[in-house]
Chains A and B, each alone.
Chain A
Amino acid sequence: MAQHKDSRRNFLKSGGSVIGASWLAINMPLIVSAGQAAAEKKESAAAFDNLTIEESVELSALVNQIIPPDETPGASEIGVVYFIDVALGGFMSDSAPMLRQGLEEFQQQTKSAHPGTERFSELSFDQQTEMLKSIEDTPLFGMLHFMTLCGMFCLPSYGGNLEDAGWNLIGFDHRHAWQPPFGYYDAAVHSQVSAEGDEHEHV
């Protein structure tokens, strides 16, 4: 996880303002058109534009290791593979060769570790977890991890976060306006303020 840790650190370092990141040095110049492409594809219910069916099956298993299904949907059902399909065709197209090569090497490792198995997706969930642990420090895993989190929590127009399922998982309610109270700890203060019918002195 070295790469993840370094990135996390650099993120935090940006201190008082924020953070804009070329996370994992991924350049995303075409992100707008990607969003549009995803929206159009959802409407037409077409197959993947950039992934083969086989690739989509493997990616589905991989992203479900990162956010597995339990009583709520896993990453695949939340649309992460659709997000990756869109991203590889647009704003992450530069990364596509690296991802494909990494996946191919990973399948070879899987075959060696599990003779008689052709694909990662054929393994049991626990076997998949063990295989994935062996590549935790690789750029391939870093990219899959990054893309999974983006696909989980991005605007649904990018193809992931289907019907806000990613946001629902963590409790993020996407609205454009809020009124206090916002949370548990400020509720009492705001009910007191409204009872007094006035706000803080500001002079």
Chain B
Amino acid sequence: MSTSKPQPKFNTREEVDFVIIGSGAAGGVLARELSTNGFSVVVLEQGQYRTAADFKHDELKVIFNDELLNHPGWNDPQTFRRFETETAVQLQNSPPPAFYARGVGGSSVHFTANYWRFHQSDFMERSLLGPMEGTGFADWPISYEELEPYYSRVEWECGVSGQPGPFEAPRSKPYPLPPMPVKSSGVLFEKGARAIGLHPQPAPLAILSKPFNGRPACVNCGFCMGFGCEVNAKSSTLASMIPLAEATGRCEIRPLSTVFRIQTNEAGRVTEVVYLDSTGKEQAQKTKALILSANGAETPRLLFLSESSRSPDGLANSSGIVGKYLMGNGHSVTQASFEHQLNEYKGVQVTRIVHDFYENDPARGFYGGGGMDARPFLDSTPILHAMTGLPPGKPTWGPEFKQMLRHYFTRKMSILGSTTSVPLASNNITLDPSLKDDKGRPAIRMTYMDHADDLAMATFLQDRAVEILGAAGAAEIWREPVEGGIVQAHLLGTCRMGNDPATSVVDKYHRAHDVPNLFICDGSSFVSSGRGQPTMTIQALAFRAAEHISRFARIGEI
């Protein structure tokens, strides 16, 4: 697909209008918007350019060999610790702590595609609830109302299936597509939730329930979570935005391009981006302006790597908060089995959600809110099911194990609770002081431990999940322990947006306070975490940022 399109080849030594680092949820939208608006754009993507034809139902390769996560042929390790007093180590027997896909389309290629809009409160909880001592709890510099038109653009231009629920904020347009067909997990969840007085609703998903914008409808193959979509029905930027960007003839995607430095001049402006190309050769692309959309872990890493005598603590980091306030969304998992077959391996992961506990409630005794969904979770593919899906305390090998495998695979479901994350300076991304990747770049070091309120909220949702599953008639219910997080797939808050340069990294238009021609737009821009499904908001921010950045470029304010 990439080679058959008329891509321009920009000269690295001539300025383009924009370089975008990262082609994921945000970068893909920005590439499409800026190239459509007439600007020349080079997208530097560290991963491969795969297309739908490259994606397979190969659980061994995708889930166990991390095919969509890794650089081909080289190693980019990460380290983890819970507290800053500890020495970070490489995790054994674990996915990488900062969990994201590498490739054109970024993590939007392998995500599960839950697309919840934020609520009005998500942008102004500090004002609504007051301060939280010792935290970075703050309002956003923009409101839901300012972002609403861009949520609609995500729904209509990327492609989202859904139906408004009873708790969501006002919307200007309906969903373009009806919800995906309900699965047995959705039916049982709905039944149990209603029985205890809750208000379940169809799940909004960035997956096409009908043909849309020249793309086909989902075929319910079941290989969504962690996999790339083989028919382009999942609305990744690879399927939705990148082809439109390339069709302008003004956007060049450069895969396998690993950035290791953003070069600035004496005036403090970005002049070029230095990277290793697909052959390992060093290149430097000159640009009028830079957009950093590399994700909440890679974005601060690149800013730290771009330190200079002008900015010794990292580019755009006069505030000292680049990398800080990492938020990941807390989770709880509750598993259940039923008498009859659900066959959850068919179809999308999630078809019903509950947002009754979205808002903060002082009566709970702790800060937070969350959402719940019904899904097969790790029981959607056979190997993962055999390793993680059977009830605890039972044999894991032998005749009884074999009998359990026969019984459970088709009879399982889970409820996933997703929660707020309190922003803490002590949760952060920094450079590891000793470990480096194969290219000599310092490794990402993640420091993360959920706030006690996040864990309390996750446990609260798990208690409700047990009630729901009981009311739905589950044969067996078991809880996975709620513990402080290690692996974070939602990488949020590390270059937060704000009006005050002393307490934020970018302004309300995503322009770095310190660097006039540097814009940062991805999960790192978040000020609060939402309730567990951030990608919809990342993309709404990207549509909005693209509009303002285009305006600045037209009037020479870049």
A interface with B by C-beta (< 8 Å): 1, 3-4, 6-26, 28-29, 31-32, 65-68, 70, 91, 129, 132, 145-146, 148-150, 152-155, 158, 166-167, 169-172, 174-180, 182-186, 189-190, 199-203
Decide: A12 near B92, CB < 8 A? Known: A68-B399, A150-B60, A177-B220: no
A-B contact pairs, 6 of them (CB 8 A): A17-B225, A31-B60, A66-B397, A170-B386, A182-B220, A184-B184
Cα A9 to Cα B387 with chains together (Å): 11
Decide: A12 near B480, CB < 8 A? Known: A18-B226, A150-B383, A202-B178: yes
Please tell me if the beta carbons of B406 and A171 are within 8 angstroms of each other in the complex.
yes
Task: Give every chain A residue within 8 A of B64 (Cβ-Cβ).
Answer: 20-21, 23, 26, 28, 150
Cα A153 to Cα B402 with chains together (Å): 13
Please tell me if the beta carbons of A10 and B341 are within 8 angstroms of each other in the complex.
no
Cα A7 to Cα B341 with chains together (Å): 28
Within 8 A of A (CB), among B123-168: 161-164
Task: Give every chain A residue within 8 A of B56 (Cβ-Cβ).
Answer: 155
Decide: A22 near B94, CB < 8 A? Known: A149-B387, A200-B202: yes
Decide yes or no whether B254 CB sits under 8 A from chain A: no
Please tell me if the beta carbons of B489 and A14 are within 8 angstroms of each other in the complex.
yes
Cα A23 to Cα B63 with chains together (Å): 10
Decide yes or no whether B519 CB sits under 8 A from chain A: no
Decide: A16 near B396, CB < 8 A? Known: A10-B95, A178-B347, A202-B177: no
Query: Which of A150, A166, A179 is in CB contact (< 8 Å) with B220?
Result: A179
Query: Which of A25, A149, A171, A178 is in CB contact (< 8 Å) with B222?
Result: A178
Q: Which of B63, B95, B385 has the most CB of A within 10 A?
A: B95
Q: Which of B175, B486, B532 has the most CB of A within 10 A?
A: B486
CB distance from A29 to the nearest CB of B (A): 8
Known: A20-B68, A22-B93, A171-B409. 10 other contacts (CB 8 A): A6-B93, A11-B384, A12-B388, A17-B110, A67-B397, A67-B401, A153-B59, A177-B220, A185-B188, A203-B175
CB distance from A134 to the nearest CB of B (A): 14
- B270-289 CB mask vs A (1 if < 8 Å, else 0) is 00000000000000000000
Chain B residue with Cβ nearest A91: B65
CB distance from B168 to the nearest CB of A (A): 13
Task: Give every chain B residue within 8 A of A145 (Cβ-Cβ).
Answer: 396-397
Decide: A149 near B410, CB < 8 A? Known: A19-B378, A185-B338: no
- B481-519 CB mask vs A (1 if < 8 Å, else 0) is 101011101100000000000000000000000000000
CB distance from B317 to the nearest CB of A (A): 28
The 7 closest A-B pairs by CB, nearest first: A17-B489, A15-B331, A184-B340, A18-B226, A183-B184, A153-B382, A185-B184
Task: Give every chain B residue within 8 A of A179 (Cβ-Cβ).
Answer: 220
Task: Give every chain B residue within 8 A of A18 (Cβ-Cβ).
Answer: 63, 110, 112, 225-226, 378, 489
Please tell me if the beta carbons of A10 and B99 are within 8 angstroms of each other in the complex.
no
Cα A19 to Cα B177 with chains together (Å): 29
Please tell me if the beta carbons of A170 and B487 are within 8 angstroms of each other in the complex.
no
Query: Which of A15, A169, A180, A183 is in CB contact (< 8 Å) with B487?
Result: A15
Task: Give every chain A residue within 8 A of B161 (Cβ-Cβ).
Answer: 202
Cα A21 to Cα B378 with chains together (Å): 13
Task: Give every chain A residue within 8 A of B341 (Cβ-Cβ).
Answer: 171, 183-184
Task: Give every chain A residue within 8 A of B486 (Cβ-Cβ).
Answer: 10, 13
Query: Which of B67, B178, B402 is in CB contact (< 8 Å) with A200?
Result: B178
Query: Which of A129, A158, A183 is in CB contact (< 8 Å) with B60?
Result: A158
Chain A residue with Cβ nearest B177: A202
Cα A155 to Cα B65 with chains together (Å): 14
